[in-house]
Every structure is written in C-alpha cells, then in structure tokens.
Structure 1
Amino acid sequence: MFPRPIEQTSPARQMLYKAALPVALVLWLLPLLGVAVTSFRPASDLAQGNYFGMPSYFAIENYADVFRNTDMAQYILNSFRLTIPVVIGAVALSTMTGFALGIYKFRSNLLVFFLFVAGNFVPFQILMVPVRDLTYNMGLINTTTGLALFHIAFQTGFCTLFMRNFIKALPFELIEAARVEGVTELRIFWYIVLPLMRPAIAALSVLIFTFIWNDYFWATVLTTSREAQPVTAGLNSLNGQWVAAWHLVSAGSIIAAMPPVIMFFLMQRHFIAGLTLGAVK
C-alpha cells in the first residue's frame, strides 16, 4: 500500500533517485529563483528585454522603492489586520466546536460534524456571487471586517475537522477523572483539554496564517481599495497603467512571502509536533 523506503530498494534505483532529486528540486525552485533575480533587476534591463539573463547590476534599491513609491506598507498592514483576527477567531471557535463534537455523545453528533466538514468539499469559486451579494447587503463590502468574517466562517469547518480528530485521540480517562472530582465542563476544557491542545493549536495557527495571508481570490472579490486590500491583491496595483513594473512586483512578492516563512520557522517545532502527535504510540 505504501511505497518502500528508498534505502530498501536496489542500488540502481537509489542512484537514480539521488540523481533525479536535485533536478526536481531545481525545477521546483526555478520560478522562485526567477522572481528573486528579477527583484534585483534594474528597470533598464526590463526595458531592453533582458528578462532571463543576469542583471547588469543588482538594484537593491528596488526593495526601498517598493515602500517609497507604492502603498506596499499599507497592504502589508492590511494583511496583518486581516490574518491575525482570522487566525484567532477560527482557532478559538474550532477548539470549542472540536471539544463539543469530540467529547460529548449526542444523537446528531455526526450530522453536525458533517455540516462543518461539508463546506470543504464545495468549490469556493461557485460561492463568489452569493458571498459578494451577502457582504454587500450587510454593508461590509470593501472592508477588512467583511473579508475577515468570511474567512473565519469558511475556515472554521476545516479547523473543526482538525481539532475534533485531535481531541478524539486524547485519553478520555482524564476527563472522566475530572468529572468524578466534580470539575465543571468549562474548567475541564480550560485547564485540562486546552493545555493538551497546544501542539495542535500551533500547527493549525501556522496553516491558517499561511492560507489567509496567501489568499488572492477572495481578496480581489471582496476588496477594491488600498484601505482594505491585503498584500496579495495589492501586488497587482504595483504595475503601472502602461508599463509593467515587474522589478517592483517581484520585490514586493519576496517581501510579501517573508511573514509566513518567518512564522513557520519560529513555530516549526510546535508545527511538526502538532502534525505528528499520535502518529507513533
């Protein structure tokens, strides 16, 4: 069912694997390397058609020009104003729904759980018109609040699936022992279950932060102005009306990609622990 470890294969296959791995890695990183090189390319090179060669000189000032000549700082601020509340809201709601669905046994448990999960199977593109109309009717179109509320509602289903399965794997004897001692359900959740969920909360926070920060579709559907657009939608405005400033777009893309990368490396230990907890008994 599962592929054999490469160490257990024949020497010829191991040699082919070692030769193909660097090639696949370079092909996978090639677009990112191209963006990184273009971010240091001067505008004169692009005007002369030097798109793929080495830059005539490394224009480090492109990164300063992104902040000096565009609204990049405002877009990054908008992304933080959007992403942080969504992470807090979705994770907080999913810990409570996951606790309820994972601990309590009631008749409609599986049905309610299915309703949370069912939204993940719906192609989000077909929701564009009704979501935009609903946001407009609520007076939240082109606002960070409207975009954040939509993401919290949409991400809570996936987060509930993640949290419910994690809580289901916790030793139920701990909760039974607390109930015997007369501990209330709220205190069981706060003092017993929640501390055990820290690896899952960390892993889920990194995932949701990355999902929301990198979202482009809903950012362009529900926002249109610099006061509300996150950085993914704002990057498109770095191009001029008649001239494509690809050096600024590339520099802005590298800057926009840094917060999720930094967060992943800061939370790497907790992220891996949250994903692998329970994999080995």
Structure 2
Amino acid sequence: MSNIGLIIEERAADIGNFLVGRLLPFRQKRAVGPFVFIDHMGPADLKNYQNLDVPAHPHIGLSTLTYLFEGSIMHRDSLGTEMEITPGAVNWMTAGKGVVHSERTPQYLRHSDKRLHGLQIWVALPKDLENLDPSFIHIEAKDIPHWEEGSTKIKLIAGEAFGKRSPVPVYSKLYFLEIIASEDTTLNIGNDLFGESALYILEGEIEDGGNTYGPKQILIAKDAKLCQFKMLAGTTVYIFGGEPFPEERYIFWNFVSSDKETIEKAKQDWVAQRFPKVPNETDFVPLPQSNVK
C-alpha cells in the first residue's frame, strides 16, 4: 500500500532573467519540516551572451542552501563574502535578522557557452533564532558525507540521517539526501527518517504502491515517513524533511517569519534601502507589490 499522500508537480516561475521550476511552497503544502521553498534551476544551456544575473536582494528569517548539479554561480553578500559555488558543494547562507546577496555567472564564464542546473532551497529558522546575526559558510563537495550501499550512492548534503551528520551548520532537526541508483533497487528507509518527509525525483523513475512516478515531481509521505519504494536504474532522487515548527511561517518575496509585522518592517527597510549593502554593487531588485502569503 502506498505511503504517498500528495504529489506536487514542478511549476514554471520567473526569477528575473531566468526561468525556474517552483516546487515549494504549494497551496496544499506550504512546508515540509523546516523546508519552505525549493526552486529547480534549469537545466539551462546559456549562450556566450546569456548569463545568470540576480542583482542584490534581501532575506530574513531563513537559511539558503544552494546545490548545483552543473555549472557555476558567483555569490556575493553584504557580509563581504565572494564565493563561487560549483557542482557538489554547498553554499549555506543564514539571513537571520537580514542579509543581502547577489547571484551571477562568474566573470570568466560570461562570454562562453555554459550550462546551469541545480537547486535553490530555503530552510526556515526556529522562532527564537529568526533574528540572529547573518552568516555564510561554504562546504566543499569532498567534505559532504557520501557512501555506497549496494547499487546506490548516497550523499547527506545537510542535516542528519543514517547515523551520519553533514558539516552544514543547520539550526533544527532536518535532513537533505541525494540517492542515485545504478540498478533497479528497492529501498526501505522509514526507520532512518523523522518528522515530515518528501522525495523529489530529479531524473529516472520510482515505483510505489503499483504506481510509477517520474521527474519534476515531489512525493509527500502520508505519515511523515517514507517507507519502501523502488528506484529504477539511472534514477536520482532527493529526500528532504525534518521536524516541523509549531508556528506557521509567513512568506513574502524573500522574507520568511513567524510574525507578519517583522515582514512588514523588512519590506519598509528594503524600500528605504536600510539593509546592508553588497560591496561594489549598486543595482538591486525592487520590492514586488503583493500581499503576504
């Protein structure tokens, strides 16, 4: 019997000059554990005159996790960080009370044909940490825990699972796993997960309860635990989740908070340009006109 309670299809969303696939939030499922936002970037083939350019924009109340499959992004922020992220590494930026950053194609690639593919993820902070000082950490691909079990390769990108812990400094109980199957494989991992659980299919197919599911779908577990399912050969999935927070999280644009007034203040501060600046950058993304979700 299937343990899948909800299927979320990837939906197109425009983030400026780049089209992404929006996975979370969804009207019937605003969050999975502390995960409140997931964008699937690409795969996009960019010509020598096309580049990713997301100018300076603010965040509060969350940590961002950038994970690339292909390509490269240059991250710059108001802490003075300048870091290129490449496939398999993790950029983990905690906004807390407020941070500003930009994401662009690195200078050395701006006049070359290039490919970009990855995930952008937001993880909400616990209520008592929503206003902590911002920070940034980069974890190299070689430092992400990875191992093999039979015909599957597993990476623990963030959080804890299977008795292992990622070096990404998370602030609540969560997990974010990559599993790649080189052969048809049946997995039973219910005892290794906790809280709410979901599975995103990047490529390939999985079978569960007599049904087959393919790429660009998130499968939400009914009882907060993914149990037994079959991965077909050549399939890559990402399993994520954790303990949900007791309070609702509100999202407006790039702001996440358990308090609507905090979001209103952040909106006013961005319009008045009271947020810290990214060094040597003057352009920025204006505040969109919309209501708090």
Q: Which of these two proteins has the greater Rg computed from alpha carbons?
A: 1
Report 1 or 2 for greater relative contact order, CA contacts < 8 Å, sequence distance ≥ 6.
1
TM-score when normalising by structure 1: 0.23
TM-score when normalising by structure 2: 0.22
